[in-house]
Amino acid sequence: MDKIQKKEFVKKIKETFSGIGLLVITHYNGLKTSETDELRLKLREVGGAFQVTKNSLMQLVLKENKNKELKALFTGPVAIMYSKDEVSAAKIAVNFFKEHDKLIVLGGLIGDKFLEQKDVLKIASLPSQDEIRAKLVTLIQTPAKNIAFALKFAAIKLVRVFDEYSKLEISEKKIEEKSSKNETSSDSKLEETTKGEKDENNKTEVKSEE
């Protein structure tokens, strides 16, 4: 590959990287041609690709990237996998590794953010855009009567809750009224007792004067 071809390759890869959601870096040592073809097919279905790289050229592609850990991954038999979204390439790589231990996930890249192997594994556990869409379609296709029933049931439960609260408020009011009456009654009795004691004292004083 001459200098012009190298420049074209670097330019093309950089353009590709700018339009993808996730890049996964792998070691592919020992994979059969049929297996790499299987990977390419799966990635093509999600708008991605599987590509064996030449490490010296990838170092040129990543020349402006300051992450040393990322550059260090490009040694040995390296292949890159990428997808338009931020999940599919990771899911395909990890699922393929479970069936073919010859493919090893090394790390990845989202935008300018470097991903360690553990980060790629976490991303692989997330639902893909197609899975999210499928769930939304299922929700949309749910019969209207089921939705109406759910809403009606929720409304009934809400009414019952309000009813229970209203009963609670009434009970509290009754307790307050009863307490208030008891206090008034106690005050009246206290006044009567105090008045009676005063009358007795007055009678005693009159007798003493006589």
Q: What is the pLDDT of residues 101-140, one digit of tens each?
A: 889 999 999 988 899 999 999 999 988 777 777 766 776 6
Total domains in the chain come to 2
CA–centroid distance for 26 within its chain: 27
Note the Cα 96 to chain centre separation in Å.
Answer: 25
Q: 146 and 75, same structural domain?
A: no
Predicted confidence (pLDDT) per residue in 8-59, tens digit:
888 888 888 888 999 999 999 888 999 999 999 999 998 899 999 899 999 8
How remote is the C-alpha of 79 from its chain's centroid? 31
Same-domain pairing of 14 and 79: yes
Nearest C-alpha neighbor of 80 from the set 43, 104, 51, 119: 51
Assess whether 117 and 18 both reside in one domain. Answer: yes
Task: Assess whether 37 and 84 both reside in one domain.
Answer: yes
Query: Could you tell me which of 94, 113, 103, 106 has the C-alpha nearest to residue 17?
Result: 113
* Amino acid type, 119: D
CATH of residue 35's domain is 3.30.70.1730
Q: Is 147 found in the same domain as 123?
A: no
Q: Given this model, what pLDDT does residue 43 score?
A: 93
Q: Provide the residue range defining the domain that includes 200.
A: 142-210
* Whether 81 and 149 share a structural domain: no
Confirm whether 75 is domain-assigned: yes
User: How many percent of the chain have pLDDT more than 70?
Assistant: 64
Residues 86 and 176 in one domain: no
Say if residue 13 is in the same domain as residue 107: yes
Q: Is residue 68 assigned to a domain? A: yes
**Contact call for residues 94 and 121 (beta carbons, < 8 A):** yes
CA distance 30 to 114: 26
Please tell me whether residues 151 and 198 are part of one structural domain. yes
Residue 83, Cβ neighbours under 10 Å: how many? 26
Could you write out the DSSP letters of every residue in 85-113? Answer: SSSHHHHHHHHHHHH-TT-EEEEEEETTE
Alpha carbons 109 and 179: distance in angstroms, whole number? 71
80/154 same-domain check: no
> Sorting pLDDT into bands at 50, 70 and 90, what band is 207?
very low
Q: Domain for residue 134, yes or no? A: no
* Pair 98, 153 in one domain: no
Q: What is the DSSP letter of 31?
A: -
In a domain, 132, yes or no: no
| Mean pLDDT over each residue of the chain, to the nearest integer | 77
